[in-house]
Chains A and B, each alone.
Chain A
Amino acid sequence: MRRGPLLLTFLSGAAIAALFFIPHYKAQAANSMLLEWTLVVYAFALILGSISLWNSHARKVRNRAEGWGFSVVTLVSLLAITALGVWKGVGEGTPVDWIYNTVNSPLASTMFALLAFVIASAAFRAFRARSVEATLLLVTAIVMMIGRVSIGELISHRLPGITEWLLDVPNLAAKRAIAIGVGLGAVSTALKIILGIERSYLGRS
């Protein structure tokens, strides 16, 4: 049951990687076609996410699980906005755009604004200089937090220069090593997937 999909993975992956190196116009046309197909499949993958969300909350409502009333809110808002968007569009001036600016945008940005409080509380409770490494991390963080904002420039004219050096030298070195490591890992994982060694993405057989 999985041999066919594994073969398709190999063919699609090898084709798109090989077409990178072939400048012939027919190869590039094939490349473009594969990319346009993938764009459509990706859209359906995102739609699948919304369907799964619907199924999950619909199940809660059906079974009258704890908090099922809130699930009704989710289902109603999902359905209403989808229907309005398909019917009237999503551009400026449409009902969906109004809802986006009234509901989606404020809720999303406020959810993430909570993190400011959480990070301050976590920094107070957990950020301890219990070792040389932790002290180095803590001191660097403090220098960055003060040096990169306006108050740092007033405290000392050297602070901005120090922060710039920290970013341009030790930070650059470490992040470059991480980037190279991530690159090697990504390439090896991609090869394992194309060659059928890594199969977890197909789910249980």
Chain B
Amino acid sequence: MTLQTWIAAFLTLCVFSFLYKDNPFYRFAEHLFVGAAAGYLLAVQWQNVLIPNVWTPLLHDHKLVVLIPLALGLMMLARAWDKGAGIARWSLAFYVGIYSGVAIPGYMQAQIFAQLADAAKPFAPGWGAVNSALVLVGLLTVLAYFFFSAPHKGVHGAGARVGIYFLMVAFGASFGYTVMARVSLLIARVQFLLRDWLHVLPGP
């Protein structure tokens, strides 16, 4: 049982103590986490991005064009101070513009065209046609539900009603999987405490 395991176990129990009630141990662990996470992020940005993509090209390879993103990045930092918001707007404008530009073909191709094409394909043969028909009906009725520019009355309203039922099944499936995900996170921590700290489980 190493010092590392003991510290990790102590911090784990500090966080779990919140289940009883809020307390100084939990708050200590919470604040330590925030600082440690932010510090690690900065260290990784420096080692993995700023050195290979800025420092080395500029100082070793003499690629002066790197000064442009470096300047934009430094201007971005000005936002941390009230008077710097105006300067930071230029960096934000560049950055937001790029991400908006890449979003258009990306979403159109992968989420709109590809999904519509798959929805419009012929039904599967045999009993699979029932499932294919259900998928198509579900797609159209859920889209009808999300169309709020017209009131949900008459045929549109009936379609929206059916769409709600499809949505409820989908959200129920998502909820079931969400419970599965959360429970998995707990199981891993319990495994750590019982195996790595207390050694009451067989090893890996």
Contact = CB atoms under 8 A, between A and B. Distances in A.
Report if A and B touch in the complex (beta carbons < 8 A). yes
A63 interface: no
Interface of A: 1-2, 4-6, 8-17, 20-21, 33-55, 57, 67, 70-71, 73-82, 84-86, 89-90, 96, 98-120, 123, 133-134, 136-145, 148-149, 165-184, 186-187, 189-191, 193-194, 201-203
Given A74-B31, A133-B168, A169-B134, A109 B185 contact: yes
Contact of B188 (A47, A109, A172): A109
Contacts, number: 388
A142 B42 contact: no
A187 B89 contact: no
A70 B31 contact: yes
Nearest to A76: B35
A49 B38 CA distance: 8
A9 B100 contact: yes
Contacts of B105: 17, 20-21
Nearest to A185: B107
Which 9 pairs across A and B sit closest by C-beta, in order of nearness? A85-B43, A173-B138, A140-B172, A144-B176, A81-B39, A77-B35, A44-B73, A12-B97, A183-B111
A12 B98 contact: yes
Given A78-B35, A116-B185, A193-B96, 10 more contacts: A76-B35, A85-B43, A103-B33, A104-B33, A106-B11, A106-B12, A107-B15, A176-B119, A194-B101, A202-B93
Interface of A (DSSP majority class): helix
Interface of B: 4, 7-9, 11-12, 15-16, 18-19, 27-50, 53-54, 65-66, 68-70, 72-74, 76-77, 79-80, 85-86, 89-105, 107-108, 110-112, 115-116, 118-119, 131, 134-139, 142-143, 146, 163-180, 182-183, 185-186, 188-189, 192
